[in-house]
Amino acid sequence: MEYHKQVAEILDNVKKVMIGKDKEATLSLVALLADGHVLLEDVPGVGKTMLVRALSQSLDCAFKRIQFTPDLLPSDVTGVSIYNPKEMFFEFRDGPIFGDVILADEINRTSPKTQSALLEAMEEMNVTVDGVTKSLKKPFFVMATQNPVEYEGTYPLPEAQLDRFLIKLSMGYPSEADELEMLNRTDRQHPIEDIKPVIQRHQLIEMQETIQQIYMDETVKRYIVQLVAATRKNDHVQLGVSPRGSIALMKAAKAYAFIQDRDYVIPDDVIFLAPYVLAHRMILKPEARYSGMNQETLLADILEQVDIPVRRELNR
């Protein structure tokens, strides 16, 4: 398939920096190609920011970083109008949100008001400042990092805002062998410094448009709907996955098929992606949480219960 070589080169670039995180690299690329966004949640120091940097440096796109702090204002994200005394009018200075790839670092360390400035742009592709709406250009990809909510100084993202992220990931600690390899690679110079762009901006947009044409059989679509419906009917779930989640899983499955060099989606694509696309969109009942249950384990049970469509090659 066209562009498969560039896809492989992007993943190779990320693997040079992120040792033993092939799945996380692939899922991040799924979100990028599906025109979605990623939320990385984990403890400090496990490589969340480095993953974003490695991916962004592989693209010939404008990269912007926003370091979220408790005193950050919405205008620090969107931009601000500044009076020009010479011309006697207000000039708008773009904020970092006007980029192609945005690193929103530690998004849950800032106030909900500032969080909303970013999340509104993610959903609507628009920014409103001083009553004037400005459109964002494609590609527009946000990778946000956050520390676990148990850490001090965090503001948990509301469920409606979590729903804006196509995929939610957790990095986890590396194995001893991977960590040793990491030390060897960064002994003298960090491999991030050697990463060069392997795809142009217009090529990325073309790939995103191509993915929309990936074929998904009616049986696979019905499977997605059945999975989502099962989350709403489960006795342990207070709030199931919304229709936005169904659409997100469809888009992610098409992007994953594209990465696998296929022009059609199979049920295994949906099964692989479901935990990363659907789990963060579910709210469990308090008694389920108190018993030690979480969204991931419950979703695994649902995947076992819902009948998988017959796997077959789709010759069109």
Which residues, in sequence order, are CB contacts of 131 under 8 Å at separation 6+?
none
The Cα diameter of the chain in Å comes to 70
Question: pLDDT digit string (tens) for 259-307?
Answer: 999 999 999 999 999 999 999 999 888 888 888 888 888 999 999 999 8
In degrees and rounded to multiples of 5, residue 90 shows phi and psi of -85, 130
User: Are the CB atoms for 36 and 167 separated by under 8 Å?
Assistant: yes
Question: pLDDT digit string (tens) for 86-114?
Answer: 777 777 788 889 888 898 888 888 888 88
pLDDT, position 138: 87
Structural domains in the chain, CATH included, are 4-206 (3.40.50.300), 213-305 (1.10.8.80)
**CA end-to-end span of the chain:** 16
Q: What is the pTM of this model?
A: 0.88
- Report d(CA 114, CA 134) in Å as an integer: 18
